[in-house]
Amino acid sequence: MGRNMRKSGVLRSGAAAVALLAGAGAAWADVPRVAADIAPVHGLVARVMQGLGEPALVVPPGASPHGYAMRPSDARALDQADVVFWLGEALTPWLEGPLEELAGDAHRIELLESEGTTVLPFREGARFEAHAHDDQEEHGDHDDHGHEDHAEGHDDHAGHDGHEGHDHEEHAGEHGHEDHADAHGHHHEGADPHAWLLPANAQAWLDVIAEELAEHDPDNAAAYRANAEAGKEEVAETVASVSATLEPFRAKPFIVFHDAYQYFEQGFGLSAAGAISLSDAVKPSPARVAEIRDVVAELKVACVFSEPQFNPGLVATVLDGTVAGTAVLDPLGAGLEPGPQFYPALLQEIGAAIAGCK
């Protein structure tokens, strides 16, 4: 009798567990299927979806967003997506076609065009003037940056990797000048797409992501919004921490490999003095390298930053004969674990690299 009662209790408990799992599966199934283009965007989406679902990442860590060749699993993620969050054509020009072909029925949100986003124009020349952030453009004024002509006006360069031997780059070096066109004939003009490095943009996007997901999944709307609020608080706390770390470095001039960090500079009160390369797809001319060397000597530059995708030889050339330090910056955080805490970790990693440059 006792054994039968115990057996009956086990069966009832098992049935309850199965029902609970079935209910959880049903709730999970109701959550929209979401894809994000790059790891920083994926991290923000993952934070909003935390506890409810996981977004797919289209461009894996370490791959160039400018010219990535999708794998079948990446194409499948787009094909199955209900919602796709991406920076926009300025960063991933190749993605527009697959979005139309594979994710035509999905709701696609271009974050560079979303409300509350600060968008900055590219800086020109090897030497940067002192920051004039009062000319920054808010959403709604993007046309001043060339958004009306995406094919001509964006930095549609082809990739971080494997382009240093391109004929265009050799041509620029041999003739001692640089064209404003990159290795594929596009122009380094218009909107700078590295907008995720401004913490205020990331906070605005958390709200954009939450509202979009709430519209697709009203039952979980409160959870998405609560996650977004928590995410914004985490970004604010990270900014405070990184700002304190950067305080000793704030007045020091530095050189970046290519102009990808002005959003971070604005967010943390820093000022790069110049960039070695016009873009990450164009080898700098001898004249540009010489100009950067002059800037390093003239301003007593504290640090020259390289990036993991590039040949450090150019940085060594710039550093030769100077006392400037060097360190590695990675705007995409290739070595970080994707997920809900990716974005704060990215800010911390960049801040630590800058502050620790010797």
State how far the Cα of 122 lies from the Cα of 351, in Å rounded to an integer.
22
Q: At 280, which amino acid appears? A: D
Using alpha carbons only, what angle is made at residue 130 by residues 187 and 269, rounded to the nearest 5 degrees? 100
What's the pLDDT score for residue 309?
75
Lowest mean pLDDT among 74-83, 137-146, 269-278: 137-146
CA 131 to centroid of chain Cα atoms: 22
Lowest mean pLDDT among 34-38, 85-89, 112-116, 124-128: 124-128
What is the SS3 string spanning the chain? Answer: CHHHHHHHHHHHHHHHHHHHHHHHHHHHHHCCCEEECCHHHHHHHHHHHCCCCCCEECCCCCCCCCCCCCCHHHHHHHHHCCEEEECCCCCCHHHHHHHHHHCCCCEEEEHHHCCCCEECECCCCCECCCCCHHHCEECCCHHHHCCCCHHHHCCCCCCCCCCCCCHHHHHHHHHCCCCCECCCCCECCCECCCHHHCHHHHHHHHHHHHHHHHHHCHHHHHHHHHHHHHHHHHHHHHHHHHHHHHHHHCCCCEEEEECCCHHHHHHHCCCEEEEEECCCCCCCCHHHHHHHHHHHHHHCCCEEEECCCCCCHHHHHHHCCCCCEEEECCCCCCCCCCCCCHHHHHHHHHHHHHHCCC
Mean residue pLDDT across the chain: 80
Binned at pLDDT 50, 70 and 90, residue 281 comes out as: low
pLDDT top residue among 144 and 99: 99
pLDDT beyond 60 at 177:
no
Beta bridge partners of 85: 36, 109
Q: At 344, which amino acid appears? A: P
Query: Percent of the chain having pLDDT more than 90?
Result: 59
pLDDT top residue among 292 and 152: 292
pLDDT beyond 50 at 184:
no
Lowest mean pLDDT among 51-60, 64-73, 114-123: 64-73
pLDDT beyond 50 at 170:
no
Binned at pLDDT 50, 70 and 90, residue 76 comes out as: very high
Binned at pLDDT 50, 70 and 90, residue 187 comes out as: very low
Domains of the chain: 31-116+198-239 (3.40.50.1980), 118-192+247-355 (3.40.50.1980)
Arithmetic mean of pLDDT, 110-115:
96
What's the pLDDT score for residue 284?
81
pLDDT beyond 70 at 150:
no
What's the pLDDT score for residue 348?
98
Q: Do the strands 303-306 and 34-36 form a parallel or antiparallel pair, or are they unpaired?
A: unpaired
Arithmetic mean of pLDDT, 151-161:
37
The tens digit of pLDDT for each residue in 282-335 reads: 678 889 889 999 999 999 999 999 988 777 788 898 989 888 999 999 999 999
What's the pLDDT score for residue 140?
40
pLDDT top residue among 157 and 290: 290
Q: Rounded to whole angstroms, what are the CA distances from 354 to 222, 233, 261, 327?
A: 38, 23, 11, 7
